[in-house]
């Protein structure tokens, strides 16, 4: 008999969920983690990032407070205080995740594991373990380009530990991480320059909404260099960094953040040797039941490079546990996944963009609401929100909702239920507005 029914490599969102639920079904489960229990999302991703976004937003709130009668005599930000509080919260969450797993009788090995066969692995301590099924949930790591001087740049992993805030920062990339950290560093007072290899950022989002983010960011003082790439980084004696650019003038800066995507973490722990097939981006290839080319080995989350989002990894882990240990087989539905960019202001979206709808459907109607939130009007903040509904013209079904503005992700979660439920524009029209809110714009577009 094998040592365990299930051995999970990677105690992250997807792996943790699979381990906990499988154990609750009665399986004998062990999980190996070489860094910290919680994975990217909890330890160096969504959670600490969102706390920094909250911290950054105070810069605007404190400015706006004056028109609401508040006298805030000194506005001084202390990075070390926020950084240490965020890291302490991450430590607390790591403890809570560990406790949840141990409460479910999951054995935790806090060490690296390498596969030695289809049903076996070796831990860093030399201990051998065997299992009927092995689940790989090793996530992804920042893809750092092979350029001269790349050792002087950081990835999002290091942003949470910076000794001090840079006065100037160059951010490479035009995706989630680049835009979120552009907002964070700008609000904290750094001068931000975002460089992107094309003139399109946030490619998968509705470009009318993205254009609004660019307009607002430019007005705030964030610089964008499009069709530009970093060629070389040199450290000067003064400590500043000289960035040789292609496509725009060179920069002197204090920090360079590379945010040009993340690569599945599949190298160096025996996957290829045991015959697990991988794709062009080194991702593990899996079927709809998360099974790899080796029948006893499964994979969930970013390591499979399907949709690199925490809630999706959690669903994959749950589906795996339900299917193989809970006798309620099911597969993850990848349609209609809501997503958000926690930029300043944030973007949120579900369903088809206008462009996608026009390519896919015969007739498309769009409705937009372009408005200045009441709070911004009184505060004198010249920042407009934009909401957009994409409607299938032949059925009246809402096929996409796209928003930029304060609290857009909070509002969109509810709208995502409507899109998934295939509600029609007429259902939105028939819903009484909740006044005065920003969200009421969703049911007032005509």
So which residues are the catalytic ones? 435
With CB under 6 A as the contact rule, which of the stretches 31-39, 167-175, 233-241, 397-405 interacts with ligand NDP?
167-175
Instruction: Show Cβ contacts of residue 17 under 8 Å, excluding neighbours closer than 6 positions.
Output: 313, 314, 317, 318, 321
Residue choice 41, 101, 177, 276 for contact with ligand NDP (CB under 6 A):
177
Q: Of all residues in this chain, which one has the CB nearest to ligand NDP in the complex?
A: 175
- Helix axis angle for 207-220 and 176-188, nearest 10°, is 20
Nearest-angstrom CA–CA distance, 253 and 263: 26
The owner of tokens 């999970």 is 8
Site string for ligand NDP, 197-216 (x = CB under 6 A): xx--x-x-------------
CA angle 351, 354, 356 (to 5 degrees): 70
Of 316, 341, 282, 337, residue with least CA distance to 10: 316
Q: What sign has the CA pseudo-torsion 259, 260, 266, 267?
A: negative
Residue choice 7, 97, 109, 176 for contact with ligand NDP (CB under 6 A):
176
Residue 394 binds ligand NDP, judged by CB under 6 A:
no
Q: How far is the CB of 311 from ligand NDP (least distance, A)?
A: 9
With CB under 6 A as the contact rule, which of the stretches 159-167, 173-181, 286-294, 370-378 interacts with ligand NDP?
173-181
Burial of 443 (0-12, 13-18, 19+ CB in 10 A): middle
Residue 108 binds ligand NDP, judged by CB under 6 A:
no
Residue choice 108, 134, 154, 178 for contact with ligand NDP (CB under 6 A):
178
- Look at residue 395 and give its three-state secondary structure: coil
Residue choice 29, 30, 170, 340 for contact with ligand NDP (CB under 6 A):
340
Which whole-number Å values give the CA distances from 345 to 14, 49, 86, 209, 348, in the listed order? 29, 15, 21, 11, 10
Nearer residue to ligand NDP within complex by CB, 63 or 231: 231
Residue choice 117, 118, 149, 175 for contact with ligand NDP (CB under 6 A):
175
Residue 115, strand partner residues? 121
Site string for ligand NDP, 216-245 (x = CB under 6 A): -------------x----------------
Residue 4 binds ligand NDP, judged by CB under 6 A:
no
Residue 311 binds ligand NDP, judged by CB under 6 A:
no
Residue 439 binds ligand NDP, judged by CB under 6 A:
no
Which whole-number Å values give the CA distances from 357 to 178, 205, 334, in the listed order? 27, 12, 17
Residue choice 185, 342, 387, 428 for contact with ligand NDP (CB under 6 A):
342
Residue 173 binds ligand NDP, judged by CB under 6 A:
yes
With CB under 6 A as the contact rule, which of the stretches 260-268, 347-355, 356-364, 397-405 interacts with ligand NDP?
260-268
């Amino acid at each position: 008999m094998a040592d365990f029914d299930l051995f999970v490599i990677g105690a992250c969102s997807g792996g943790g969920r699979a381990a906990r639920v499988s154990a609750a079904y009665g399986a004998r489960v062990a999980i190996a983690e070489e860094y910290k229990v919680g994975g990217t999302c909890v330890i160096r991703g969504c959670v600490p990032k969102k706390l920094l976004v909250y911290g950054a937003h105070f810069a605007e709130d404190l400015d706006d407070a004056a028109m609401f009668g508040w006298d805030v005599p000194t506005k001084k930000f202390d990075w070390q205080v926020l950084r240490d509080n965020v890291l302490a919260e991450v430590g607390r969450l790591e403890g809570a995740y560990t406790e949840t797993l141990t409460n479910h009788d999951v054995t935790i090995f806090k060490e690296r594991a390498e596969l030695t066969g289809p049903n076996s692995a070796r831990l860093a301590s030399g201990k051998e373990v065997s299992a009927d099924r092995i689940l790989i949930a090793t996530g992804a790591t920042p893809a750092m380009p092979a350029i001269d001087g790349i050792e002087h740049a950081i990835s999002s992993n290091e942003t949470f530990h910076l000794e001090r805030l840079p006065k100037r920062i160059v951010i490479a990339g035009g995706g989630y991480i680049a835009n979120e950290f552009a907002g964070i560093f700008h609000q904290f007072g750094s001068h931000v320059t975002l460089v992107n290899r094309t003139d399109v950022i946030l490619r998968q989002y509705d470009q009318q909404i993205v254009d609004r983010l660019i307009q607002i960011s430019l007005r705030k003082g964030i610089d964008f260099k499009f069709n530009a790439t970093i060629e070389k980084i040199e450290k000067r004696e003064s400590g500043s960094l000289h960035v040789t650019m292609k496509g725009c003038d060179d920069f002197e800066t204090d920090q360079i953040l590379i945010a040009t995507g993340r690569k599945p973490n599949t190298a160096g722990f025996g996957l290829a040797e045991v015959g697990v097939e991988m794709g062009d981006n080194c991702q593990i290839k899996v079927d709809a039941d998360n099974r790899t080319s080796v029948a006893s080995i499964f994979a969930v989350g970013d390591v499979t490079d399907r949709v690199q989002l925490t809630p999706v990894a959690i669903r994959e882990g749950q589906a795996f546990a339900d299917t193989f240990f809970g006798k309620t087989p099911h597969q993850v539905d990848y349609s209609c996944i809501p997503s958000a960019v926690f930029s300043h202001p944030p973007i949120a979206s579900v369903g088809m963009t206008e462009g996608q709808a026009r390519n896919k459907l015969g007739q498309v109607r769009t409705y937009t609401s372009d408005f200045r939130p009441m709070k911004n009007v009184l505060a004198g903040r010249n920042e407009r929100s934009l909401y957009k509904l994409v409607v299938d013209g032949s059925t009246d079904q809402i096929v996409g909702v796209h928003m930029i503005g304060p609290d857009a992700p909070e509002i969109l979660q509810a709208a995502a239920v409507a899109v998934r439920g295939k509600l029609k524009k007429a259902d939105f029209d028939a819903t009484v507005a909740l006044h005065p809110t920003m969200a009421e714009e969703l049911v007032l577009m005509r």
